Every structure is written in structure tokens, then in C-alpha cells.
Structure 1
Amino acid sequence: MQLSTRVRTIAETLVSRRGRVSFLEVLVELGWVHQKNVDSWRRGELDPLSKAVSVDDDKLLEAAEVFRLWGGSGFNLNTAPHVSATRDRRALRFTADRDTEWVHLRCSKADARPATDEKVPDLVVLEAREEFRCEECGSPDEWLMMDAGAAICMGCADLDHLVFLKAGNATLSRRARKESGLAAIVVRPDPRRRNRIWRVGILVEPAALDRAEQQCLDDEELRARRRVKDAERRELLDEKFMGQFAVEIRLLFPKIPAERADAIARHTALRGSGRVGRSAAGRALDERAVRHAVVASVRHEDTDYDALLMKGVPRQEARDRIWQRIDEVLTSWS
């Protein structure tokens, strides 16, 4: 079968299913690039994608031209960059040395959701298979995120305020994900099969998990789970350290509400949390570590930082946008 016929047949089949199709999806169906490599590309582990494509540029350009001509007759044809499932939501590269707009081609039926309105991919966190240290700060962590080829910890990825919900209860996971403004999928690489991963759970905001569990409290199994969770939390909580940390917070910020200082101290006092308060500096009640914990709390609780990340705003840009609000809150507590 000629290439032009194959491209049109695949595109027509895909667009008939859901009203839209991208050229990248056509490449996968042609067998020129494997979906697992596309997934690695989206997670920021493979850059550029062309490293995993099995044909040369001439073939790709020929297929792209067929797709463009097909999509231009009776469909809405657009280009929109594919974005990464990393903290900065950067535009992904297909090749290393030049712009390849054609790989971002998308088309949709006139009555379908615009093909440019692509859902921002979920953030993906990897479960560390062995001892891991962040390539940015050097801290150990049980989870990591790939960012521009570097493995970073949850603190450097601004995800350390999230809590882990193990996979297994689909209803609870769905509700928690819906309630959480910022969330990430946690996956475990298969040690026996390269490039295969298993979904082990999600990271969500603590309040979102509480709301999701409240919605499910009619379920006796979840009531039992809440009792176990509360018992585990009490066991993990370092009461003495929490009290000392709360005192240091109030010394630095005398006007901070007492319940807020206690909440920040409680959040950092969980054994094994890996949060800033559990670091060596935090355990020594270092002023910088205490301030860092308070700033992190304000960033996630008193600004729209998490919402900006979920919308695809790059991490540094999101921080620049909300810094004035953080400064206002800290000033009001000083």
C-alpha cells in the first residue's frame, strides 16, 4: 500500500473515533515510533523524539505533507506544540537542530473540540528503584521526577507538599484527583522489561484527599482505612520536634495565626517525609530552613501557584507571578 494511502486511512480511522487526530498519532500507527517512546518523550526522559524514530526526514516530510493536504480538505487544521509532563511544561522538541512545525499538526472535525485544545499531560513521578539523590540539591528521596534529563527530588519539583495515595481504590483515587488542584501520577519502572512502567498511585494535596475520603465515608472499608491512617499518622508524628518548630515559626513571624504555625510544624514533623523541616538544618531549627518551610506553605496555600502549574505555566514564571503575594503574606505576619 502506498504511503499516501496508509496515512489517509489511518487518519480517517482515528478522526472517526473521537473527532480529531494528530500527526504524531499517525506516526505511532504507521509503526515509525513506538508509543512507549512517545510516553518517555512526554515525561522528559527522551529528547529529542527523533532519536527513537525508525525512518529518515524525507519519509517524515512526505507523510506530513499527505496529512496536511488530507486535513486541509474538510477539517480544521492547526498546529499546537506538544508539552511535557514535567514541572516546566515546556514545548517538546522533535529534532535537536531545527523547528519541525509539521510534527505538531492536528486536525479536527468542524463540530469537535478544537485540535489545538490539547489536554495538558499529567505530571509523572517515578518511584526510585534504588538509592537516589537529587541532581539539583543532592538530597535523598523515594520518588523522583525527570526534568530536562536530570532526576530531581520532590522538593526541587515543588511537589513535596503532596501526599501519596496508593492505587487500588478507583473511586477514592478519582475523587482525590478531581479535588486536587495539583496532582501527579506515580509510576514504578518494571525491572524486568525496559521502558515498561506500572502505575502505583497518585500524589495529591492533603486537603483534597481528606475531602475525597469524606465523600466516601459511607463505605465501611474506607472508615477502617481512615482509622488505620490516623493511627499511622500519630505514630509518625514527632510531637517534640513539632512543638519546637512551631515556636521557631512564631519567633520569626510573631503575627502568624497560631493554628497556621502549628499546621506548618505538623506538616514538617512527619518522620520520613523528606520535607525541609526533616533535613539536618531543619532538625537543628536553622532559621533558613524554618523560613523555607513557611514560604513553601504560603506558596501552596495562599497563592494560585499550584493552579498555574496545572495550566502548564513554567515553574519559574509561576514563581515570579506569585512572589509579590508571598511577600505580602510574610510581611503581614512579621
Structure 2
Amino acid sequence: MPDTESESPFIVFFSKQNEKCSRCSRPIMQGALLCVYRNHKLTCTGCEGLGDHLLLPAGDVALTRRATKHSNVAHPVYSPEKRRNRYERRGTLVEAYALQLAEAECEADAADREVKRAKDAVRREKMDQEYIAVFAMRIRQLYPSCPEGLESEIAMHACEKHSGRVGRREAAREELDDESLKLAVRAHIRHTETPYDKLFERGYKKEQARDAVIDIVNRVERKWAAECLDNAPPPRMPA
């Protein structure tokens, strides 16, 4: 079950099937909201004092923050996400008057918040470009013999927004370590310098395909990591 900032003994979910409240015995239909205690006891929202609350869908951060502030009791709502093996927050239960106040506040300063969002977007874009440039520079330092301009291509791919790739991971962005850089380079080599993708088409599983091309990946990586002969100091003549 997800951890919540609330001290409530239960979590609110969308019901996956028809259930029955353990207190009032009323039916809880599939898709309706129900409260699940840590001991798996199920209750309806009415028995928990949430029956008159409104569900504010997730997505509008400002509206949710303000409605939660104004509501005497606010409760997050979750649903299980099987594909990602985790719980996704779907919204927040808030009191009706609290939502009305929050909507009025958001409408009053909508123009100011839009200006701020635009400025923040420009600032984030600049920071992203600077981060990608540093990422590419570090790749060139670690792999001085990789093809010209390839470091930028790898950096842009690894740092693509919302991709979940190594360059977007929080740990990598906080401290750009060599391991993150090497993972990005090895992934690029795997997809562009080996038959890795074709092995998938032939039915190979991920680990099987990786094992099949690992020697090629290692060989190309060593080649790119080697110092360019053009940049190497001239050999010393024997005395």
C-alpha cells in the first residue's frame, strides 16, 4: 500500500470489484471509492465521513494545494497500476466549499501564474540544455576517440525528457557520475553498432540479446575510450 503524509489509518482506493462495507453492510460497487485499512478491512466513504466530499482529479497542482489547505479533511485517492507495479495517485477528496474557494483563488491569479509558468519553462529549458552540454562534454572526456559529434547525440538521447533513461534519473542529475555516462554510451553502442535490435525480432529475450552482443559492445567501448593518436604526444626516440 502507498505511504501517505496523512495519519489516517486507511487508504482510499477505486474499488476493483463489487464489495461490501464492513460497518454498514452497504454495497460498494466496482469503480466506486472505498477505504482500506492496514488490516484489509473495507469501509465505504460515508462511514469514514467522506461521503459528501468531492473528488478533485490529479493534475492541477495549484488547485489541489489550495483545496487541500481549505478543507478540514482532505484525503488522497489511489488506484493500483499493475503494469508499473505501483500505486498511482488519482486525485484528492476535499470538501465542496474548499474546492469552490480554491477555484476562485486560481481564477483570480490565473494570469500571473501563466506568466510564471512561462518563465519557469524557459528557465528549465535553459538548465536542460546546459545539463546536456555538460553530459556531452563528459562523454568526450571519457571517450576521446568516439566519432565526432556523437557525444551530443548520445547526450540528447540519454537526457530526453520523460524518457526515464539514465540521463533523466534524479541521481544522475544531482551528481553526474562516470557510471551514468558509461551506461548511456554502452546503450548507444548496443543499439547502433550491434545486431541487438534484430535479435529481439528473432525472439531473443532482453538478457539473451545483451549477452549475445556484449563482446562487440566491450570492443567498441574500448576503442572509443582509447586516446586519439593525433592527440598523443610524439614518441621519444631511443637514446
User: If the length of structure 2 is used for normalisation, what is the TM-score?
Assistant: 0.41
Structure with the bigger RCO (C-alpha within 8 Å, sep 6+) is: 1
